[in-house]
Structure 1
């Protein structure tokens, strides 16, 4: 959407906002820097980076209130479970809403007057039109330009490729439990330092978050990053599913979403990002850009 706006195919955006959890892969930060340098700045679109802290550090800090990640739990009786997901709201949605209030000139706790709002563009494609929702606050009104254009995820990939951004990485915490096996493999095989980081974190949260333990409320079971409920460096991440093989045969030139192909949670960790690939797509000429 930023590139479409910068190139005049969508109206010029006033701002782009990136919610930083403090624990993104290095490739994401490098990509964001390049996107700002080559696309946003020449078009005069400021990129605002907002943050509520470093989610990794907060989880391991006994003095810090931690918004729980959706960790996989193995209970003492052997039954599986999951912890509640609070991290998206705390580390992504709230910082964005706080920034929007500031841009409108009504920082919290001021009341935003009725009728004062921003139009927020949400990057949901036609593959997942059912996820297009209204904002949960009245000072933000959601619009879905990719759906308006009739663009699928593959259209987005092809357009980015035409601009030299074919290697656009997925934004998600480095140690997000919603990763699929393909993403865990990619971290292990391409970034040894980040792999050591997530393996160490996985071991560190085995008994839950540090503040709960310090407060005398330890996790009764064990917590894991991988859905197998095994230590990450022992988890069966080398298994390639039939769905992944079929997707590679169907469209080998398009990046494959590991969560969707390897049974990760469809909604993932983001409230707004594109997630799926259509089973069948119409033939398109060019990019179907709207003036």
Structure 2
């Protein structure tokens, strides 16, 4: 959308916002730097990087109130589950709302008049039109230009390729539990330092987040980044396990869909209004999601 706006295919945007969780792959930050330098700056569109902190550091800090990641859980009785996913609300939606309030001239706790709002463009394509939704506050009105243009993910890839951005990486936390095997392999095979980082984090969160443990509320089970619920450096990221193959025997269409998800992760993008799973509004200390 930023490139379409900068090149005159969409109206010129006033600002572009990037919600930084503090734990994106290095390739994403490099891409953002290039996008800002080659696309946004020449068009006069400021790119604002907003943040609520570093999600990795916060998870391991016993003094920090941590908005939980959707970790894969293996309970003591052998049952499987996932922790609540609050990270989108805390690390993406919250800092965007704070920044928009400041741009409008009404930082919290000032009340925003009913007739003051921003038109917010959300990069959802026709492939995921079901995720197109309104914002949950009056001062933000969502619009979905890619859907208005009838553009699919393939259309976006073709356009990016035509302007020299064919290698645009997918934005998501480095250690996102929604990664598929292909994403885990990519980290392991192309970036040893980042692989070491996620393996270390996986081991560190085995007993849940540090704040809960310090407060006497330990996790009744074990937490993992990989869906197999074994340590990441031992997880079967190079093949589909026998149990997974058995679960896939549901017919050709179902087989293909599930296998793709095991490999690629959940395909919907990880952004404030298009996260892998419906984003929950989180009531935070300063009421920004209220």
TM-score by length of structure 2 reads 0.86
* Contact 2:21/2:55 (8 A) holds in 1: yes
What is the match of residue 236 of structure 1?
A: 236
Q: Give the number of aligned pairs.
A: 262
* 3-state SS of paired residue (1:262): helix
Q: Could you tell me how far 1:220 is from its partner in structure 2? A: 0.9
What is the match of residue 70 of structure 1?
A: 70
Q: 1:165 and 1:273, CA in 2 relative to 1: closer, same or farther beyond 3 A?
A: farther
* Mapped partners of 1:36, 1:79: distance in 2: 46
Q: Could you tell me how far 1:259 is from its partner in structure 2? A: 7.5
Structure 2 runs not aligned, ≥5 long: 253-258, 277-290
Q: 1:263 and 1:163, CA in 2 relative to 1: closer, same or farther beyond 3 A?
A: closer
* Contact 1:2/1:16 (8 A) holds in 2: yes
What is the match of residue 137 of structure 1?
A: 137
**Mapped pair 1:147 → 2:147:** yes
Q: For 1:148-174, what per-residue CA distance to the aligned partner results, in whole angstroms no more than 9, with x for missing partners? A: 111000000000001110000011100
What is the match of residue 280 of structure 1?
A: none
* Contact 1:120/1:141 (8 A) holds in 2: yes
What is the match of residue 174 of structure 2?
A: 174
* Contact 2:181/2:262 (8 A) holds in 1: no
Calculate the aligned-residue CA RMSD, in Å. Answer: 2.0
Q: Could you tell me how far 1:264 is from its partner in structure 2? A: 3.1
What is the match of residue 126 of structure 1?
A: 126
Q: Could you tell me how far 1:265 is from its partner in structure 2? A: 3.8
Q: For 1:205-242, what per-residue CA distance to the aligned partner results, in whole angstroms no more than 9, with x for missing partners? A: 00000111111111110000000001000111112699
Q: Could you tell me how far 1:131 is from its partner in structure 2? A: 1.0
Q: For 1:23-75, what per-residue CA distance to the aligned partner results, in whole angstroms no more than 9, with x for missing partners? A: 00000000000000000000000000000000000000011110000000000
* Mapped partners of 2:208, 2:6: distance in 1: 44
What is the match of residue 255 of structure 1?
A: none
Q: Could you tell me how far 1:121 is from its partner in structure 2? A: 0.4
Which shows bigger deviation, 16-25 or 258-267? 258-267
* Mapped partners of 1:259, 1:212: distance in 2: 35
* Mapped partners of 1:137, 1:101: distance in 2: 11
What is the match of residue 286 of structure 1?
A: none
What is the match of residue 26 of structure 1?
A: 26
For 1:256-267, list aligned pairs within 5 A: 260=261, 262=263, 264-265=265-266, 267=268
**Mapped pair 1:190 → 2:190:** yes
Q: 1:49 and 1:263, CA in 2 relative to 1: closer, same or farther beyond 3 A?
A: closer
Structure 1 runs not aligned, ≥5 long: 247-257, 276-291
Q: 1:268 and 1:37, CA in 2 relative to 1: closer, same or farther beyond 3 A?
A: closer
* Mapped partners of 2:47, 2:271: distance in 1: 19
Q: 1:104 and 1:54, CA in 2 relative to 1: closer, same or farther beyond 3 A?
A: same
